[in-house]
Structure 1
Amino acid sequence: MRVPLTVSDFLDRAVTVYGGRTAVVDEPDQPVPGWGSPTWARLGELARAQAAGLDALGVAQGERVAVVSHNSARLLSSFFGVSGWGRILVPINFRLKAEEVAYIVEHSGASVLLVDPEVDGALAGVTAKHRFVIGAEADDALLRFDTEPEPWLDPDEDGTATVNYTSGTTARPKGVQLTHRNVWLNAVTFAMHMQVSDRDVYLHTLPMFHCNGWGMTYGVSGLGATHIVLRKVDGAEILRRVERHGVTLLCGAPAVVAAILDAAAGWDGEVPGRGRVRIVVAGAPPPTRTIE
């Protein structure tokens, strides 16, 4: 029997096998109240509520939902609450200018736009059929706990799960359509390579909008590990999170690792995570001191 590979597999497994464990520790320092530390069972409920809310808005399966946001538990949930029920998530770089975001929203055909409150003012002129500021406004409009979402009756692993836009260094940004099968195989392969297990604690030093956080939004979830949300990259703050939460894994470009090394050089006492944290570096060749 051929079973389609879809992004919902990851959350479904976490809810079923690790429902009582902590799924994510949300960023404590953000413009709106965070979600705290929901369990996998609770995150599953939140994703289902988002899907039901999109149903209530009349957003059909196959429509695009764009999100401009720093890392957050709400964004993590959207990777499942949107794509897991047959819609398409369009995660957008929060550093882009308004005209660039407007182009992506229009080009992608997004009917829903969710905007981080920190960039809402700068993006005031960027609109969609449905536009919400992430936080209480979006939660009230989109989270429907009183009804079940419409099932995705004919899941297609070759259907688009996310549309991720390039940086547009030579022309306009280009939308890269990733299918459910693309996402599934990337996440599983990466997780296998890094030997991710349910005992891992993953720190999001990568922005989730960037290649879906290199697939770790899915892979870490499917294995029931814990996500630690980091809103902004700062070397000393990364070390504090590593110490506070017992982080075992993180990913980043060489610049991120350099920031960690700079902070470690002035750290008072034993550097947190020494000998415990696995670090995945990509995007450019790491400098010699990173390897040393």
Structure 2
Amino acid sequence: MKNKIYALMLLSGIATHVCATENGLDSFALGAEGIAAGALPPPGVYLLNYYQNYHASEFKDGPDNFHVDVNAFIPRLVWMTPQQIAGGQLGFYAAQPLVNLRLNAMGASDSNSGLGDLVMGTMLGWHKGNHHSIAGLEGVFATGDYDNANPQRPVIANLGKNYHTIRPVLAYSYLQPQGWEFSTKLSYSFNTENDDTNYQSGDYFAGDYAIGYQLNDQVKLALEGYVFKQTTDDDVNGVSIGNKGQALAFGPAIQYKQDNWSLEAKFLKETEVEHRPEGHSTTLKMVWAF
């Protein structure tokens, strides 16, 4: 009975990889951060542009004949103020994904393009020598395109999740000016219920990591990746159905930087996956300081 319920819920649609534990996906941008993830910049306005392609042709513990391909462009505007609270520099940010999604599952298919769910947050950053840290709180709001499945459309490529997420975030970086780096960004996500499906996605832990070495003033090489671990069961109509997802990913990355901009590229392959798609992603991240 549990597997039957899960299959029915899967066919109610699918959210993007970069924008739910419902449908085996989530709203944490897995693998988006890496190099210098815990180091906030000086006061000013910054534009971060992310491009991510995610491809998976298998859904672990899920439906057969599965294929998903996601292309997402995510501009993120960051405002670092001169204000300090508890010795930390205060900042704000907002990100709006633009997504192209193609989905096939159990003999049905769909595609969609448009806006995903809006992300907004605030953060504090501290610096002490080579040590840098961040504490933040962000919300993911159900603003993206969403439609519930029906007999005429058993699979729907939804760009939004149709529920909200609140997420505390911690990040840390150890940065040697010329040498080694260790960075990580950790979070824990609390999800509201999808009112259209009565599906309550479980809470989950997620984090990005990077171990890098500065070759010269412009170039840094790194091993990057992410971990995802769901800590509570999914519920349908208040009944627990399990489906705790997990994943581990790793791969090479390179960063090139100049005075007021930087470009980071990475390729990450997933392994140890349960109750989620298993695939790989290619990510480009460009930071521009105004």
Q: TM-score range by the shorter chain?
A: under 0.3
The TM-score, its normalising length taken from structure 1, stands at: 0.25
Q: Give the TM-score, by structure 2 length.
A: 0.25
| Richer in strand (by share) | 2
| Higher normalized helix content (fraction of residues) | 1
